[in-house]
A and B are shown apart, each in its own frame.
Chain A
């Protein structure tokens, strides 16, 4: 392999006719410039314009974006919303947690008026959610679980045993057989570890 070419911010990589800008680059006056210090990469896919990007050895910080699926932990609940800490975006862990809110009306898609937060989440639950908004001045990230694939994935019972889901709204403790209410996610089979 040829020795990697390093580039630094402000370095002109190529013109827009020769490639499309990828990560770590920006465009200005019809040219692609590097915005990071790292290795120059050019990947072409079947006749398309090659994607020009700059890669670093360590991935830089990722931020939750609108539409991204995030993994979060519930830290507190009240009758109107649940507060969560966002820990993962997709499958990449965040260096520092971001705070998010799941409002009552965003917990499920149907019968929104009958939703009760404490019947859906409990503090400590691990929840899959989707970002719907970056929030405004008062609030932080707004999340939703109003999809079958979104909701509680891991929850512990009062006996502190990890519960098994038995329906979309119930989970059961394997040791005491007590049932608890949750908004359970239907985890896609390809993500299940056996």
Chain B
């Protein structure tokens, strides 16, 4: 690594974290009244907003719709001001189309779509500030929004990225670490059953190192699960207190 030292000799990363440490997570559920479910989530400097509508009547072409289960429609977009260089279009480009597809696959694995035949569930995620781990923040925010909407799902979906650098597996990469070009693994996990909803690796990584990176990501997902769980339970308690029960 020229110039930038991503991992110091003492084992600290650029932002002062240890190899397996997550960035600070802050989240809120129920941020919009109009949508059926919504959530706002920050993972370090990555900020994501997710809203969920549905299940409602199928819209658009019916030809593509699955017959016995709900259609999960995802749209990922990035605010024009989310990156260092202003973006031209917030969604519709190749990268966000791919991300939308990944989100769709992830949530089709987690939602109990068979309960809602011939209907549609919309998940819209917007990244307000991008600082690495956009997919992961989008998944985590969407999970909270789905919980808020009360759409039945098998388990939480927790997503976290992991990288590999100087023989160490790093969890929850930030933008600088992502941009350095090392291998990067994104994992979406159903933590209690330990089912993998989505796994993506976007550079070459030696097979021998894969278990370690995967382990780091799994561990990070477990931590995230505990954090999200706390947010959800707090939200439930607050909601019950507001209703005076």
Q: Which residues of A contact B117 (CB under 8 A)?
A: 63, 134
B154 touches A (CB below 8 Å)? yes
| One of B58, B191, B237 near A6 (C-beta < 8 A) | B237
**Please, what's the 1-or-0 string for A131-144, where 1 marks a CB less than 8 Å from any CB in chain B?**
00011011010000
B193 touches A (CB below 8 Å)? yes
Question: Chain A nearest CB: distance from B200 CB in Å?
Answer: 22
Q: Chain B interface mostly helix, strand, loop or mixed? A: loop
**Please, what's the 1-or-0 string for B152-179, where 1 marks a CB less than 8 Å from any CB in chain A?**
1111100000000000000000000000
- Whether B63 lies near A26 (C-beta < 8 A) is no
Q: How many residues of A contact B (CB 8 A)?
A: 32
B36 touches A (CB below 8 Å)? yes
Q: Which of A32-40, A74-82, A145-153 contacts B (4 or more CB under 8 A)?
A: A32-40
B55 touches A (CB below 8 Å)? yes
- Whether A57 lies near B155 (C-beta < 8 A) is no
Q: A26 and B154 in contact (CB under 8 A), knowing A10-B192, A35-B112?
A: yes
Q: Which of B15-23, B71-79, B143-151, B211-219 contacts A (4 or more CB under 8 A)?
A: B143-151
Question: Chain B nearest CB: distance from A158 CB in Å?
Answer: 32
- Whether B55 lies near A10 (C-beta < 8 A) is no
- Whether A10 lies near B56 (C-beta < 8 A) is no
Q: Which of A91-99, A108-116, A120-128, A186-194 contacts B (4 or more CB under 8 A)?
A: A91-99
A138 to B65, CA, bound (A): 11
Residues of A at the B interface (CB closer than 8 Å) are: 4, 6, 8-12, 24, 26, 28, 33, 35-39, 56-58, 60-61, 63, 95-99, 134-135, 137-138, 140
Give 25 CB contacts A-B under 8 Å.
A8-B229, A8-B233, A9-B152, A9-B156, A10-B193, A11-B192, A12-B192, A26-B154, A28-B154, A28-B193, A35-B153, A35-B154, A37-B147, A37-B150, A38-B236, A61-B54, A61-B55, A61-B56, A63-B116, A63-B119, A95-B56, A96-B56, A98-B57, A135-B118, A137-B65
